[in-house]
Structure 1
Amino acid sequence: MLINCDMGESFGIWQLGQDEQIMPFIDMANIACGMHASDPSVMLRTVRCAKEHGVRIGAHPGYADLAGFGRRFIDMPLADLQALFIYQLGALQGICNTENIAISYVKPHGALYNAMMKSDDIFVALLQALAKYDAQLPLMVMAVPDFSRYQKFAAEYGITLLFEAFVDRTYQADGRLTPRTEANACHTDIEPIVAQAVQIFNEQCVTSNDGTKVNIKADSLCIHGDGELAAEIARVLKARLAECK
């Protein structure tokens, strides 16, 4: 089971996350592309750090919403959304080119990620854009109980899907994440986080807020890099998953 983390989300003199402490313990770095967070210098620094530790680089494009950290939905024409999406992939790949490394996959951020999972039109629009940019790049999406619809759409455009589950967020009975607007949306202690990760790894399911066991099959486990416990989660999780193998 691979561990991925949202990285490179600082901006100018404003620092967010514990990238240097997290990077040695993860397999995949979702690097912000300058719209919801990051800037060219932060992107370059994060790419270099990922390369140093042999971590796969994923593009992490989002809505153009620095003030809201990309967690606010922006209603926009699909053609404009596709252009924004492609622009961000190109920006990160350009920086990667200078370090002789390539983007390995794409994972939308925040509100764009949520919109993609809720709206077939947005999901298909991103698939179309990715197919035109580079159909060899997998698209990372949320592992949900019934993912057949997403696989059908992806197959039409020749895109491979990677399914991820979240260790530091809580789940609802329908297999979706608890909205951040609710008080119990995030785990705040390391023990339930590790327990959730081990459950997903061993049992391919997660226990929701109301005690329901929800079946989810994931290729990767996500840590949010802006969380206070992110570095500790990465370190402990890497060790525990190694024990589970």
Structure 2
Amino acid sequence: MTMASAADSGINTGGTAVSPSSDGSQNTLTSEAYRRLEEMIVTLELAPGSVVSEAILSRQIDIGTTPIREALHRLSREYLVQIMPRRGVVVTPVDVRLQFEILETRRELDRLLAAAAASRGSSADRAAIQSLVSPTEQAAEALDIKEFLRLDAQLNLLLARAARNTVAAETVARLHSISRRFWFFHVDVPRHLPVTARFHVEVVRAVGAGDAASAAQASDRLIDHLVEFARQTLPHA
């Protein structure tokens, strides 16, 4: 999906502004700044290649520059922005070669986390993951791409918690947002969203059932699907 087609889908890329006076916690403000900026980048409200500044972003989302700065440093570690001293912050371009590298890495880590979540997660962990089935299917049926992306991010967090592997979870967490942006940039919502959602639901059901082998296989099928999706964006495809 191009930026124009994303807008044509009726996606609401706005959000609720947060003022420093609403919460005295610096960590809370930094987390909120990260959440808002990550969503703006993934959904192309901040377009690839655009140059922004801490001051502009601070005014735009009504959060102070210190939380903005900290959020931008995190986003730079996730390949979404490049911080250029005295020149500003550049939103990174969408890069299919990088996407293939990310998916190659995600294949191993996502499989590990899905299987570990199925085998190590508590019944409460698995129930929380299983609860995503219905809203994911509903988002796909409604072609609500922004809600689907939020549910995908929530699934990643729940899998990370249930897997009890901090190293794998923290490593792969750096890769999910830029991978979602690539998908959002190229997606044809009516054609691709229901199919992609089905692969996600397969992972959710397997983990929820506590079936580690099926969860690993479902994770691999999801990555296979995303690799094929990326291949279709190549000029010769």
TM-score (norm 1): 0.29
More strand by share: 1
More helix by share: 2
TM-score (norm 2): 0.29
> Which structure would you say has the larger RCO, counting Cα contacts within 8 Å and 6 or more residues apart?
2
